[in-house]
Every structure is written in C-alpha cells, then in structure tokens.
C-alpha cells in the first residue's frame, strides 16, 4: 500500500497517545493514497469497510475505512479527527477490500475511486443504508376482515386496504401513492392498528414452475461436467461455441449446480438492454431471487439490488461491467457472456477491463470463471492455447440448421445502387415474397457519412474535430459523431464558394429509404441509436423484429448482439471494408467478430440462413477466412500478425494520453514525460525490458476542440512494466506541466487512439 499523506492540516489532535487510533481512509479524490485520520476516544472503533465522515480541506467527505493502525508517518498532533462513523457494520468484507486494493494497484488508479466503484451512489453520498430501503407493506388477516366491514371514518385507510385486498401482494410507495397523496399517514395508522404489516425484503423468488433444463448435447454435457467438477476452486474456462451452439444452456446448467450448493452466480453481459431475452431465460429457469443491474435503473433500485447481492438475498446477479465490483455474500461462479465485447473495458476515468478484474476476483474467491464467445478475444484464445484457460468447445448449433453460408459480393464487379448491390436487392425481394425476414447491416447511423462540394470536392469538416460531419436527413442537420456538434446544411462550399453540395456514401437512414423504394410494400424497421433514444423504443422495435412483423431490418451493430430473430433468412453486410485498413491493431479482430455476430443472426430454428457480404476486397485473406467461418484459422493469422508487430498478447502495453487546448501543449508534455521515462529506465536495471515509443499525435488529433497525443509503453513481461509505470506515474503526478493538460494512463488499453 502506498504511503499515506494528509491534506492541509489545521486542527490539532489533543488526545492521549494511548487512545490514539489511526484510520486509513479511502476518499473519492484523485490522489493515489489513503488518508490518515485519528479517532476521538469518544467514538467506537469502526471496522474496515465502514464509512466515516471526515474533513478534507474545507470540505466534509464520506470516506471508507480501509485499515486501522496505531501509527502514522505524519505528525500525530496535526491529524484531523474522524467526525462521524456512518456504519455500525462493514459494508464490504476484508476479502473484498483486498480485491479492490489489488485492482487499484494493478491499474495504478487512485484507490478512493476504486473502492467507491464498489458502492452504489446512495452510499457514496453518505446516505444511511437503512434510510434508502423502500418500505413495503402487506395486508394482515385482521386487515382483510376490517376491509370487508366496509368503509368507516377513514376513507384513505379504507382505500389502501382495498388496493391491498385487490392485489394480495406486498406493495410499496409507487402503488400506494396512487390512492392518495396522504398515504403515508394512513399507512402508518394502519400499521399501528396491525391491519398491515411491514415486509422487510419485498423481493421474493418469482412465482410459478421453473422450466426444466434442456437435454444437453454431447458437447454441452462435456462443458458442463468440466465446469461443475471444479466449483470450489479457481479455474478459467473459455467456452468457445459458434452462435446458436447453446452456450447459454451451459451457463444455466452450471448455475443450477452453484445454486444447489447455496452459492451465488454473477453473470456479466455487454449490454442488458440489448439482451432482454437472456434475462428472460434466467427467470424462466430459476425461481430464485434474480437481480439485474443496468443503467436504466434509479439509484434507489441499484442500491437495493446491490444490498441484496451483498446480503445473499439474491441468488443471481446479472449486470454490465461495473457489476464485477458488487460484493457477494456467497460467490460461487462468475460468467462473462460475449467475453470479447469491447464494452467490458471502461474507456474513461477508472479504465479497467471487467474480464481481467473478474479473473482476479475469481482467483481470490477460489471459484470458477466461465468466459463464453463465438469469437473469443485473441488474448483469451492465446491463454487457452497456452493452457492458462481451459478450452471447452461447442462445435455445432444446438438446434437444426447450421451456420449461414457467407458469400462475398465483389463490389468492383457488381452494379450497385444507393449502396445496395443487385444480388442483395433481389435477395431481399425474394425473402419478402416468401414471407421471410432479411437484415441489412451498416455500421453507420445517419443518412450520409459525408457532404462534399461538387465543384472542388472539399468535405464538410467539424470545426472542433478532425472529422467529417454526417448528414442526418430526418433531423435536417449535419452532426459530428465525435463531439455532437450540429450545423445546418451548407448553402455553399466553405472552401470555394461553389453552390452545389452533395452527400456521399450511406448510413442507416439512407439505406432505409433506398430499400423502401426497392421493395415498396415491405414493412421496414430501422434500429440504431437515433431510432431508439426514447424509453421503451428499443424494446418495441426489437419486439416487431422478433415477431416477424417487420420484414426488413436495417441497423447498426445494435442488431448484432445476441438476438434471436426466428424468421431471419438473409443478412446483407453493406460496408465493412474500412475495418480492413484501420490503423487500430485490433481492427481485424473486430471485423471478424462483427461479421460473425451479424451473420450469425441468420437461420436459427429450422432454417438455413445466408449472408451476403459486400466488399471491394473479396480476395483479402481476412475476408476469405470470415466467409469460411473459420475462427481458428483467423486466430492463427491474427496472432502471427500481433507477434510480428509486438502487440498483445505477446507484449503488455500501456498508453499515456494527453490532450490540451493548444496544439503544441499535449505533445510538449508527452515529450517531457518521455525524457523522464528514459532516465527512469536507464537508472533502474529492473526496468530495462521496458521500451518506449516516441510520443505522436493521436490518429484523430483534434477532438471536441482539444488536441490529443499519446505515448506507448511496451514490455514482454508484466513486472518490469508495472514497476516502471508505478514510478513513472508518480513522476507525472508531481510534474508541474501535468496541470496544463488532461492526461490519463491506460494499463492494457484496447485501442491506441
């Protein structure tokens, strides 16, 4: 643990030395240390994991006690007192604190931020655990009787009893406030008379019979057996199964064993709003308390779900990446579905990767972690090849109908109209005629990705970014997808004054319009960020897509994830070529993942599907391997490339990013840090394996009005890199220049932008 320091100290601690107890407190401030406070003798000694209120500068902050000690490296007389203890019982157990401390160390991130990421917002704000619980009431037998006697002199009370008697279940404020704005007084009166009872924990297991497990296929059974044979020790399993091979069934059957052992399951998924079916399958299978954590919940709901997991009231917690930090009373297994998904990496602030954090957590808890994917990340695949992860494979689809055939359509040889080639157009028409569904995938929203002058070919650029602006027809605005800036349609070219501006290329809006003209009778559903902004809109659109009511789907990668479209026959992939030439070292991997996932939507149930992939480069080995559905061959090629380029998983990397309002500032800062780094390595033999790349401006240098630059650090082994980063980060933190820029240090970045 790093040395503790304290902020500007004013009060003096006038206490007897024998009573002096030093609290090492984590505070939500951007400093890489804990803070020392002394405990007044009048207060009981709180256990680690309890919150306290302390003064910090001129503010009062809520902090978390991490450790208790009888010494401090600071002047004891100058230490501030703990002002108040907020919890009588720890919110987090010692093992969880230890796990979080490891995470803070690993990512070289201020510990306060890391510890606080394990607490819901309510508790971070210092509210009491009790006060945030929503009360629930249930009608008592006596209450039922009184209700039957008819209304007396208290109409509101009677109205409440009526609601209870109608619903016959525990009800909370949302339902009760409908009766009267005065419901609180009425319910208190009813409770006092014993006509209603307060229910401690409203959430009970769902009613009804659980669906039985499916009969596992041979491959599934093998996977289930391997995992369940090792439920009480740490093990990493990579469940590699093509789309539709029944990975979810494997999770469900393993969880069934975990629940039988009275342990809890933590299930991490990329985006819950995009996978409502997955949650549904869990609820059908298990009649236990299942909580889901997602961004659409209120703070209070999140806090309750958090507390139920912590107390062991819930048996299954399904959540997105941050759920990896939620404390569990009896952890039994961690599952990461679609482990390759980029959303597991937090890209700002505390930049952690939920997969790597989950693996560490499982190892500290001595439980298995299961990572499932049809297109594993190359890191995980490499780990499986090296024997660090145990590879479990599902080779076939669980139900009839194999993977869709993927055909490459050479755009150089095909007549094309509004981005759609003739064979694809005819394919969509044929599907519509036969009552089958088709899907057109284009990973660009809006109408056109560029607007250009017919005279001089100049493109309309965002004034705040090094990027073109996208034309959104419906909105009637040009929009920058990087900073959100919008503009009107340009009357004339800003460069040459020419007065004819035209759109270039296609986005979802444009494809929607084009396909509607080609197949006028078809009902078309467009699904992208623009059409799903309003609450409930995504669910509605997905519902029409799943039911088959929508005959043609047009959308972005929102359509690629985990959906089951039972009637989907044909997938058209309009333009993925830009990923072939991206400067990002993960572009090939993304291309393979994206196309496999999108194409994999076609032909579930008993139908064989088909995917048409439009490309200008049908001979590219990457396109060839994609068309063959050959992940193994793809991984060989891609790993070979990574090895030559010395990128992960063959090296470990970290990226120092900086941005500033002035073009030269970010680069100047990085150049200074580069020099410091070189000196550091030269004087520390153990850091010798670390290599530095010279600072460079970022691929998109200007973004949202700031100029950005970056500096890459690499090493073939972890420990010299970590030793170096630890020192270097301290140097950066104390450097005067670092105050002039915004900087961040990303350990294991997933892209180099």
Contacts with Zn ion, residue ranges (CB under 5 A):
462, 464-465, 480, 482-483, 485
Window of 211-219, 313-321, 421-429, 547-555 that interacts with ligand ADP by CB under 6 A: 211-219
Q: Which helix (H) or strand (E) holds 253?
A: helix 247-260
Positive or negative CA dihedral for 540, 202, 117, 717?
negative
Least distance (Å) between residue 246 CB and ligand ADP: 3
Window of 192-200, 215-223, 381-389, 618-626 that interacts with ligand ADP by CB under 6 A: 215-223
Q: What is the DSSP string of 316-371?
A: EEEE-GGGGG---SSEEEEEEETTT-GGGB--SSS--BHHHHHHHHHHHHT-EEEE
Q: Judged by CB, which is closer to Zn ion: 82, or 480? A: 480
Is residue 275 within the footprint of ligand ADP (CB under 6 A)?
no
Least distance (Å) between residue 214 CB and ligand ADP: 4
Is residue 503 within the footprint of ligand ADP (CB under 6 A)?
no
Q: Judged by CB, which is closer to ligand ADP: 100, or 374? A: 374
Least distance (Å) between residue 283 CB and ligand ADP: 14
Least distance (Å) between residue 488 CB and Zn ion: 15
Distance of alpha carbon 337 from alpha carbon 251, whole angstroms: 9
Contact 745, 108 (CB under 8 A): yes
Is residue 219 within the footprint of ligand ADP (CB under 6 A)?
no
Contact 753, 700 (CB under 8 A): yes
Window of 26-34, 208-216, 307-315, 666-674 that interacts with ligand ADP by CB under 6 A: 208-216
How many Cβ atoms are within 10 Å of 29's Cβ, its own excluded? Answer: 17
For 15, the 3-state DSSP assignment is coil
Contact 591, 579 (CB under 8 A): yes
Least distance (Å) between residue 389 CB and Zn ion: 41
Q: What is the DSSP string of 484-536?
A: --EEPPPSS-TTT--S-EEEES--HHHHHHHHHHHSTT--EEEESGGGG-STT
Least distance (Å) between residue 659 CB and Zn ion: 14
Q: Judged by CB, which is closer to ligand ADP: 110, or 244? A: 244
Distance of alpha carbon 95 from alpha carbon 331, whole angstroms: 12
Interface with ligand ADP: number of residues (CB under 6 A)? 15
From ligand ADP, Zn ion, none, interface partner of 217 (C-beta below 5 to 8 A by class): ligand ADP
Q: Judged by CB, which is closer to ligand ADP: 249, or 575? A: 249
From ligand ADP, Zn ion, none, interface partner of 22 (C-beta below 5 to 8 A by class): none
Token pair in block for residue 612? 């048409």
Is residue 551 within the footprint of ligand ADP (CB under 6 A)?
no
Least distance (Å) between residue 103 CB and ligand ADP: 29
From Zn ion, ligand ADP, none, interface partner of 214 (C-beta below 5 to 8 A by class): ligand ADP
Q: Judged by CB, which is closer to ligand ADP: 227, or 713? A: 227
Contact 259, 288 (CB under 8 A): yes
CA end-to-end span of the chain, whole Å? Answer: 31
Least distance (Å) between residue 466 CB and Zn ion: 9
From ligand ADP, Zn ion, none, interface partner of 335 (C-beta below 5 to 8 A by class): none
Contact partners, residue 21, CB within 8 Å, separation at least 6:
38, 39, 45, 68, 69, 70
Contact partners, residue 668, CB within 8 Å, separation at least 6:
737
Contact 276, 344 (CB under 8 A): no
Is residue 29 within the footprint of ligand ADP (CB under 6 A)?
no
Candidates 6, 62, 220, 383: give the one binding ligand ADP (CB under 6 A).
220
Q: Judged by CB, which is closer to ligand ADP: 271, or 671? A: 271
Q: Judged by CB, which is closer to ligand ADP: 265, or 479? A: 265
User: What CA–CA distances, in Å, run from 88 to 21, 43, 71, 610?
Assistant: 17, 11, 23, 61
Candidates 2, 13, 214, 342: give the one binding ligand ADP (CB under 6 A).
214
Is residue 465 within the footprint of ligand ADP (CB under 6 A)?
no
Least distance (Å) between residue 305 CB and Zn ion: 37
How many Cβ atoms are within 10 Å of 539's Cβ, its own excluded? Answer: 11
Is residue 212 within the footprint of ligand ADP (CB under 6 A)?
no
From Zn ion, ligand ADP, none, interface partner of 480 (C-beta below 5 to 8 A by class): Zn ion
Token pair in block for residue 739? 């105050």
Q: Judged by CB, which is closer to Zn ion: 480, or 687? A: 480
Q: Judged by CB, which is closer to Zn ion: 639, or 704? A: 704
From ligand ADP, Zn ion, none, interface partner of 465 (C-beta below 5 to 8 A by class): Zn ion
Give the HSE-up count for residue 751: Cα atoms under 13 Å, Cβ half-sphere.
Answer: 19
Q: Judged by CB, which is closer to ligand ADP: 239, or 357? A: 239
Closest to 677 in 3D by CA, of 632, 652, 713 = 713
Residues facing 14 on adjacent strands: none
Least distance (Å) between residue 247 CB and ligand ADP: 3
From ligand ADP, Zn ion, none, interface partner of 249 (C-beta below 5 to 8 A by class): ligand ADP
Q: Which helix (H) or strand (E) holds 672?
A: helix 663-683
Is residue 446 within the footprint of ligand ADP (CB under 6 A)?
no
> Cα angle vertex 653, ends 649, 654, to 5°?
150
**DSSP secondary structure code for residue 700 in this structure:** E
Least distance (Å) between residue 464 CB and Zn ion: 4
Contact 196, 186 (CB under 8 A): no
Give the HSE-up count for residue 692: Cα atoms under 13 Å, Cβ half-sphere.
Answer: 23
Closest to 702 in 3D by CA, of 445, 477, 462 = 462
Contact 710, 744 (CB under 8 A): no
Candidates 10, 168, 182, 399: give the one binding ligand ADP (CB under 6 A).
399
Q: Judged by CB, which is closer to ligand ADP: 214, or 279? A: 214
Closest to 713 in 3D by CA, of 686, 739, 674 = 674
Spell out a b/e string for 447-480, using b for 16 or more CB atoms within 10 Å of the CB, else e: bbbbbbbeeeeeebbbebbbbbbbbbbeeebbbb
DSSP H helix total and E strand total for the chain: 21, 32
Is residue 341 within the footprint of ligand ADP (CB under 6 A)?
no
Q: Judged by CB, which is closer to Zn ion: 605, or 704? A: 704
Contact partners, residue 130, CB within 8 Å, separation at least 6:
none
From Zn ion, ligand ADP, none, interface partner of 569 (C-beta below 5 to 8 A by class): none
Q: Judged by CB, which is closer to ligand ADP: 4, or 380? A: 380
Q: Judged by CB, which is closer to ligand ADP: 6, or 217? A: 217
Distance of alpha carbon 195 from alpha carbon 210, whole angstroms: 33
Q: Judged by CB, which is closer to ligand ADP: 398, or 721? A: 398
Per-position x/- string for 236-265, each x denoting binding to ligand ADP as judged by CB under 6 A, each - no binding: -----x-xxxxxxx----------------
From Zn ion, ligand ADP, none, interface partner of 673 (C-beta below 5 to 8 A by class): none
**DSSP secondary structure code for residue 655 in this structure:** E
Q: Judged by CB, which is closer to Zn ion: 135, or 490? A: 490
Is residue 398 within the footprint of ligand ADP (CB under 6 A)?
yes
Candidates 216, 587, 680, 696: give the one binding ligand ADP (CB under 6 A).
216
Least distance (Å) between residue 463 CB and Zn ion: 7
Per-position x/- string for 561-600, each x denoting binding to ligand ADP as judged by CB under 6 A, each - no binding: ----------------------------------------
Q: Judged by CB, which is closer to ligand ADP: 369, or 374? A: 374
Give a three-class secondary structure readout of 683-697: HCHHHCCCEECCCEE
Residues that bind ligand ADP (CB under 6 A): 214-217, 220, 241, 243-249, 398-399
């Amino acid at each position: 643990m790093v040395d503790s320091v304290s902020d500007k100290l004013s009060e003096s601690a006038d206490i007897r030395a024998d009573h002096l107890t030093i609290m090492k407190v984590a505070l939500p401030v951007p400093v890489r240390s804990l803070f020392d406070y002394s405990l007044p003798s009048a207060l009981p000694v709180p256990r680690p994991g309890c919150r306290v209120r302390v003064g910090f500068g001129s503010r009062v902050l809520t902090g978390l006690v991490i450790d208790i000690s009888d010494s401090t490296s600071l002047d004891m007389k100058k230490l501030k007192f703990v002002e108040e203890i907020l919890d009588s019982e720890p919110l987090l157990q010692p093992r969880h604190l230890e796990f979080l401390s490891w995470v803070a160390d690993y990512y070289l991130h201020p510990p306060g931020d890391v510890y606080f990421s394990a607490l819901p917002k309510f508790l971070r704000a210092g509210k009491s655990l009790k006060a945030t619980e929503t009360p629930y009431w249930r009608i008592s037998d006596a209450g039922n009787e009184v209700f039957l006697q008819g209304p007396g002199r208290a109409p509101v009370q009677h109205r409440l009893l009526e609601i209870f008697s109608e619903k016959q279940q525990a009800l909370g404020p949302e339902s009760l406030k409908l009766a009267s704005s005065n419901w609180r007084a009425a319910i208190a009166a009813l409770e006092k008379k014993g006509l209603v009872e307060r229910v401690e924990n409203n959430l009970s297991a769902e009613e009804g019979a659980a669906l039985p497990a499916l009969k596992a296929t041979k491959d599934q059974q093998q996977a289930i057996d391997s995992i369940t044979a090792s439920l009480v020790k740490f093990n990493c399993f990579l469940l590699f199964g093509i789309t539709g091979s029944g990975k979810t069934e494997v999770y469900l059957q393993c969880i069934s064993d975990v629940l039988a052992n009275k342990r809890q399951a933590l299930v991490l998924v990329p985006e819950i709003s995009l996978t409502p079916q997955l949650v549904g399958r869990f609820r059908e299978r298990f009649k236990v308390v299942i909580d889901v954590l997602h961004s659409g919940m209120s703070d209070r709901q999140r806090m309750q779900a958090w507390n139920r997991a912590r107390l062991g009231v819930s048996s299954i917690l399904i959540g997105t990446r941050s759920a990896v930090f939620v404390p569990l009373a009896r952890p039994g297994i961690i599952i990461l579905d679609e482990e390759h998904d980029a959303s597991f990496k937090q890209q700002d602030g505390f930049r952690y990767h939920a997969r790597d954090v989950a693996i560490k957590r499982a190892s500290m808890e001595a439980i298995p972690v299961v990572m499932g994917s049809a297109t594993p990340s190359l890191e995980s695949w490499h780990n499986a090849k090296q024997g660090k992860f145990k590879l479990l494979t599902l080779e076939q689809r669980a139900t009839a109908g194999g993977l869709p055939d993927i055909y490459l359509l050479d755009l150089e040889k095909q007549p094309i109209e509004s981005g759609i080639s003739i064979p694809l157009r005819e394919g969509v028409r044929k599907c519509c005629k036969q009552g089958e569904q088709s899907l057109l995938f284009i990973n660009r929203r809006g109408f056109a990705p560029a607007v250009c002058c017919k005279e001089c070919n100049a493109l309309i650029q965002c004034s705040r970014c090094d990027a073109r602006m996208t034309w959104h027809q419906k909105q009637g605005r040009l929009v920058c997808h990087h900073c959100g800036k919008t503009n009107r349609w340009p009357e004339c070219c800003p460069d040459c004054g020419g007065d004819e501006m035209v759109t270039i290329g296609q986005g979802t809006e444009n494809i929607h319009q084009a396909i509607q003209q080609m197949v006028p009778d078809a009902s078309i559903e467009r699904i992208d960020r623009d059409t799903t902004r309003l609450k409930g809109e995504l669910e509605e659109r997905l519902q029409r897509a799943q039911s088959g009511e929508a005959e043609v789907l047009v959308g972005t990668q929102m359509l690629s994830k985990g959906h089951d479209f039972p009637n989907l026959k044909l997938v058209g992939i309009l333009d993925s070529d830009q990923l072939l030439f991206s400067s990002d070292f993960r572009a090939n991997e993304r291309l393979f993942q994206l196309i496999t996932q999108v194409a994999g939507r076609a032909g579930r149930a008993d139908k064989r599907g088909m995917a048409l992939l439009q490309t200008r480069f049908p001979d590219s080995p990457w396109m060839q391997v994609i068309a063959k559905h050959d992940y193994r061959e793809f991984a060989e090629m891609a790993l070979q490339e990574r090895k030559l380029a010395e990128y992960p998983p063959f090296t470990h990397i970290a990226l120092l990013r900086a941005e500033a309002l002035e073009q030269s500032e970010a680069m100047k800062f990085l150049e200074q840090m580069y020099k410091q780094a070189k000196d550091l390595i030269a004087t520390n033999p153990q850091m010798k394996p670390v290599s530095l790349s010279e600072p460079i401006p970022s691929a998109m240098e200007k973004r949202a009005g700031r100029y950005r630059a970056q500096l890459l650090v690499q090493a073939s082994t972890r420990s010299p890199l970590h030793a170096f980063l630890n020192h270097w980060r301290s140097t950066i933190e104390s450097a005067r220049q670092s105050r002039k820029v915004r900087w961040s240090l990303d350990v294991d970045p997933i892209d180099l932008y």
